[in-house]
């Protein structure tokens, strides 16, 4: 089987000139290879084979609610989010395009409230490379039942462009737990239609200000043969 390195580098080179500058004074980031199938774009680390992506986040809300977002940009709606990050939505969108992350139309995902295993996304949180990761479901309480969530499946829509602007970038919205088409990822639970359904779980959420990494991956990663195509 051919290595993933050359095909991915080919894609990187073809996209490098197309990566928009999301801050006029910010130097355009470059994709670096840091392992056999591991790459880095700025602060985002990703694996071309497993489609796992990691980047730094900070705990923003450890109790109370309602919580409307799992993750926002540090300039976004922080008062409604569990985590915030300095990573730009456009940078994450570039990485997900490079590794051909499975994508579902927002309206289809919300209407069905379920996707195939290939399109379902899980999120975890870890403090340091050597620590065990925690499911982000541990950090949420369903206010309808007053019980912690057991699982939190998401799907990736990629947000959308409007008037020449990438909406996730403009809004700073990465991962929504209430229905928001501007976000890049969306909670599949039917309760996401209610923007006051979720709260932070103080018994499981790390203290506010805790720094770590948010980890995302498809439940069923794309087969290597598919990733291997130039």
Residue 230 and residue 7 in contact, taking contact as beta carbons nearer than 8 Å: yes
Cα 158 from chain centroid? 10
Nearest to residue 191, comparing CAs of 183, 199, 181? Answer: 199
Residue 84 and residue 60 in contact, taking contact as beta carbons nearer than 8 Å: yes
Tokens at 14, concatenated: 């073809």
What SS3 state is found at 183?
Answer: coil
Nearest to residue 125, comparing CAs of 116, 136, 115, 114? Answer: 136
- pTM of the predicted protein model: 0.84
pLDDT at 229 over 70: no
pLDDT band at 28 (very low <50, low <70, confident <90, very high): low
Every domain of the chain and the residues it spans? 5-227
> Is the pLDDT higher at 22 or at 57?
57
């Amino acid at each position: 089987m051919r290595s993933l390195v050359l095909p991915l580098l080919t894609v990187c080179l073809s996209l490098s000139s197309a990566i928009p500058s999301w801050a006029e004074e910010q130097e355009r980031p470059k994709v670096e290879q840091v392992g056999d199938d591991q790459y880095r774009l700025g602060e985002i680390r990703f694996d071309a084979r497993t489609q796992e992506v990691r980047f730094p986040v900070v705990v923003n809300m450890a109790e109370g609610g309602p919580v409307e977002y799992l993750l926002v940009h540090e300039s976004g709606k922080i008062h409604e989010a569990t985590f915030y990050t300095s990573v730009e939505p456009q940078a994450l969108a570039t990485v997900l395009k490079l590794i051909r992350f499975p994508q579902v139309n927002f309206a289809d995902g919300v209407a069905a409230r379920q996707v195939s295993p290939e399109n379902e996304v899980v999120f975890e949180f870890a403090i340091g490379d050597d620590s065990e990761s925690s499911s982000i479901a541990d950090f949420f309480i369903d206010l309808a039942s007053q019980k912690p969530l057991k699982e939190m499946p998401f799907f990736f829509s990629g947000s959308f462009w409007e008037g020449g602007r990438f909406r996730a970038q403009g809004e700073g919205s990465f991962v929504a737990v209430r229905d928001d088409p501007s976000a890049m990822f969306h909670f599949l639970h039917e309760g996401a239609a209610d923007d006051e359904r979720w709260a932070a779980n103080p018994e499981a959420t790390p203290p506010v200000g805790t720094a770590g990494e948010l980890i995302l991956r498809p439940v069923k990663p794309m087969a290597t043969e598919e990733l291997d195509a130039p």
